[in-house]
Amino acid sequence: MNPPSSSSSLVFLVLVSLLLSSSSLAANNNELASSEEVIRLPGVTGPESLAFDCNGDGPYVGVSDGRILRWNRTLKQWFEFALTSPHRDRKLCDGSTDPNKEPICGRPLGLKFNKKTCNLYIADAYFGLLMVGPSGGVAQQLAISASDGSPLHFVNALDIDEKSGVVYFSDTSTLFQRREYQLAVLTGDKTGRLLKYDPSSKKVQVLVKGLAFPNGVALSKDCSFLLLAESTFNIIHKVWLTGSKAYNLEPFALLKRSPDNIKTNKKGDFWVALNSYRSVLPNTDHNEIVQKEDQNPWWIKQDPVAVKFDGNGETLEVLDGGGGQKLDSVSEVEENDGRLWIGSVRKDYVAVVNNV
């Protein structure tokens, strides 16, 4: 299907946020509920995606200098777990927050453990689809191109069918790298793709082409369909994986904010992270971004930085950012042990909120 056109005001907000995305804002520690916790990173930024291992330990996060870090909750300390390139220069990369170093250092974005094998799968924007075992180390590169010969150019998010081992993932652009991602919006780039990696054949199949900044990917509990975020047009697609409708897109949710990563919880519900734009437009009232004629009350009455949907697209829960800076740049929400673990492509911490 063709995605709907976005409003001019929303396009402006998206472009401004992208152009200023490399800056960092100081966190104000009193802008979340009293149940919040902030876990600071060791001199790096951008824990975009989070993952918990087979034992429930973690989170594990990919950060700005190309490493994957593991949080030890007993010692309350971050440890290096994995790298996405064997040729990474530590003197150049360790501690880097410079996007121009990403092609050398790597930039791990999507993370997901296969709970059946305990292996961690990694979507690195520059080094493709990778996997590392439970002990960590240098990840094994699984794919750098599709079976049609086209290279993977901006690998972004992934999910795994644990029964078959098949990995579904997004390649945001075939023209622009992650450090140039503002150009993908400025030029109206529609070269993004949804792909599938089959471990039995070790081949990558292109399932859907012509997408405008495809982002988060999340499988349904029964793996009959997945949800795919098309960030430029603020839409979530349902992509059927079986039957006569396989690989066709259906509209699942049309949003007023740009969706990022999507995560499935144990019940099969979906958490969709939403960009609030406050990180670059701090004086903007969130209600100015929301169209007043929209009668959906969770858009009008709250400051939604994430929303939980059931498999039919019904709204179950909303994470309210409170109009502040602490949650002005949410890239992912992972529900684990009664808490919401919150990632960000820009912040220097992981936020945690009790989900009661």
With respect to residue 215, please indicate whether it lies within any of the assigned structural domains.
Answer: yes
Residue 294 CA to residue 6 CA, distance in Å, equals 15
Q: Report the SS3 class of residue 248.
A: coil
State the pairing for strand pair 128-132/137-138. unpaired
Q: In Å, what is the CA distance from 19 to each residue of 181, 185, 205, 273?
A: 9, 10, 33, 20
Which residue is it, tokens 């599709």? 146
- Exposure on the CB side of residue 195, measured as CA atoms within 13 A: 33
CB atoms within 10 A of CB 98: 14
Using an 8 Å Cβ cutoff, are 255 and 234 in contact? yes
With respect to residue 3, please indicate whether it lies within any of the assigned structural domains.
Answer: no
With respect to residue 29, please indicate whether it lies within any of the assigned structural domains.
Answer: yes
pLDDT at res. 185: 77
Give the model's confidence band at 298: pLDDT under 50 very low, under 70 low, under 90 confident, else very high.
low
Residue 17 CA to residue 22 CA, distance in Å, equals 9
Number of structural domains the chain divides into: 1
Torsion of CA 275, 279, 280, 286, to 10 degrees: 60
Give the model's confidence band at 18: pLDDT under 50 very low, under 70 low, under 90 confident, else very high.
very low
Q: In Å, what is the CA distance from 251 to each residue of 10, 66, 156, 186, 196?
A: 20, 34, 21, 24, 21
DSSP string for 33-87? -TT-EEEE-SS------EE--TTS---EEE-TTSEEEEEETTTTEEEEEEES-TT
Asked if the model's pLDDT at residue 12 lies above 80, the reply is no
Higher pLDDT, 192 or 33: 192
Q: Going edge to edge, which strands form the sheet with 332-336?
A: 37-40, 349-354, 339-343, 332-336
- The rounded Cα 271 to chain-centroid distance in angstroms is 11
Q: In Å, what is the CA distance from 74 to each residue of 57, 58, 70, 77, 209?
A: 10, 10, 12, 8, 45
pLDDT at res. 300: 56
With respect to residue 184, please indicate whether it lies within any of the assigned structural domains.
Answer: yes
With respect to residue 212, please indicate whether it lies within any of the assigned structural domains.
Answer: yes
Using an 8 Å Cβ cutoff, are 194 and 211 in contact? yes
* Domain CATH code at residue 138: 2.120.10.30
Asked if the model's pLDDT at residue 24 lies above 80, the reply is no
Give the model's confidence band at 105: pLDDT under 50 very low, under 70 low, under 90 confident, else very high.
very high
Q: Which residues does 324 contact at the CB level (< 8 Å), separation at least 6?
A: 28, 31, 32, 278
pLDDT at res. 5: 39
Residue 170 CA to residue 40 CA, distance in Å, equals 28
Beta strands in 223-289 (DSSP E): 225-230, 235-240, 249-254, 258-264, 270-275
For 232-263, how does the pLDDT look when each residue is reduced to its tens digit (9 = 90+)? 999 999 999 999 999 999 999 999 899 999 99
Using an 8 Å Cβ cutoff, are 184 and 213 in contact? yes
Which of 227, 199, 203, 202 is CA-nearest to residue 119? 199
With respect to residue 180, please indicate whether it lies within any of the assigned structural domains.
Answer: yes
Please, what is the Cα angle at 99 between 94 and 100, to 5 degrees?
A: 95
Range of the domain at 112: 8-354
With respect to residue 1, please indicate whether it lies within any of the assigned structural domains.
Answer: no
pLDDT at res. 194: 98
Residue 111 CA to residue 316 CA, distance in Å, equals 25
Give the model's confidence band at 295: pLDDT under 50 very low, under 70 low, under 90 confident, else very high.
low
Asked if the model's pLDDT at residue 20 lies above 80, the reply is no
Q: In Å, what is the CA distance from 186 to each residue of 6, 13, 129, 230?
A: 13, 12, 27, 15
For residue 325, give both structure tokens. 């800076």
Asked if the model's pLDDT at residue 6 lies above 50, the reply is no
Q: Going edge to edge, which strands form the sheet with 235-240?
A: 214-219, 225-230, 235-240, 249-254
pLDDT at res. 323: 86
Q: How many residues does the chain have?
A: 356
